[in-house]
Structure 1
């Protein structure tokens, strides 16, 4: 099996696995207990928290959550009263939460994007005005890899007196996170860490209302017993993202350059320039992506967000770019990274191209 679905999840780094095993098998104490084993487990959590924070803006604190969806919900639902502004291509964790806030009486504005997937700055400027409490934007889009002008949007938010929340799940460790963010959501399993743990970074002085009440862990904002093993795996994965940043970037850029020639009969969805190189969302006339996925059983790729798979609906991200339902259904997402080899990418391209040509043939 050739794995090309790095936006859905990444392979667990061996170093992260090795860091987790002792905490699962031997050092099993509750990190919130006051006895010596509990304090030792808590120390492991704090080492991980420090490592994760090295790739985040300065002047804030990092709270562990069960994942980015929970982090985004805390940030959005717990934000001060007022209007919310976000973007049409955001993840469902943002759009659905914002819609829930709308049904509860909050004003919500969803900004359009251009054919390149980039938010319209004039529309943003018109919408982000005094009275807006929160602006939410994704740094790197999970479906098309487009990088939004987060720094510009954060500046607009602050000028209007609003907080700025960045969904940095796909960008953390790969694209610098601007200092202007007030809240940042991240997830371990997108950076070769374990599933089931994420984090919400909060600028000093920012304190959303908690969603979960109980023991008052994580500064009173996220009650519940932490898993030292998951936190440790997250911390090691973050350290590797920092230490291997140049190596990983060069590797991914080489793969992306090869992919441009391997998939030369396909059209790239989204901006060619403002994008993360490890995410290629491609379309081809005359094909159905779901049929292609079924046919190419030895290649793991996707049709869009893993969270929306099986819905049968065309991608809301691709529709926001102005694509027709047919074009959206004829699109696939190829994601690669640290552990992808050039030979694997070449073999996968051969399989996909042959299957697409056979499907498109009259």
Structure 2
């Protein structure tokens, strides 16, 4: 009867990866720079081992280390797939402008004509084109440094359900162009005061087989919380619970954990990335980390010694760094299981999580990664 929790703090990196210069990210350090800029201390995480991971002297109350990305890319899909033991065979494609053939195929099937088709910040693009969208009814198409095709629409012009249907059409065509995610971006408000709503929805490519599939096939429940289900296109998950905020994700995690007797809860907390990393809001990011730390302190008494709790991240998004893109970073690793407090070192790849989960659930050894419980 194995019960496991995998908590991914979206974008909470802990220092530039060795190949960061290839991505223009040399010197990035999400956690380190936030701590230095704000004086942030996280008593629960630091006591578990985060302080030791970041070079401090505080004793660690849990197994602790770092993970170094091996897959090419620094987006959420790549990071989560690698964590689940299925790093993409090739990097997802990125664009400054989508090819005319792709755009025409989507427009013809969906019966729309897009505005935009540019690389832009999501908040900037609705400020720039939102009024024209209201006038014309045409959805806004844009991308970013990640492999994403994003479609923004005002909820009173294109209601979310229609926007999702449009994005499902886009997803079918985006596969041929190796685009990692299609993202529906509903917004509301009036010109000069537009704001994105919580009804975002991601449509990912289907991943290769992951450890989530293996756990499910073994008859154990696997439940996704937050955007986990979107990132895996529902594959390998018995149930999925989208959330509108970190607070909702934490509350849902605690409630499901209390109900479960065995299986895996896989939670993604995305506010660190979307609300604070991309917007380069250092104080907001620090505040979100402090809120998580306080919640974690209240949650940990519900975890028994035989439970397996893994806390990590998928990439960085240093709010002190140039631009508004993700940053190529190593990620922290904290593991609670049977009172272990050992140093796990720097792991060569995120797939060590998949190998660990396979071992914990009594499955055959995972073909990639190395269990940190062995």
Tell me the TM-score normalized by structure 2: 0.27
Structure with the larger RCO, 1 or 2 (CA within 8 Å, 6+ apart): 2
Indicate the structure with greater strand content: 2
Tell me the TM-score normalized by structure 1: 0.28
Indicate the structure with greater helix content: 1
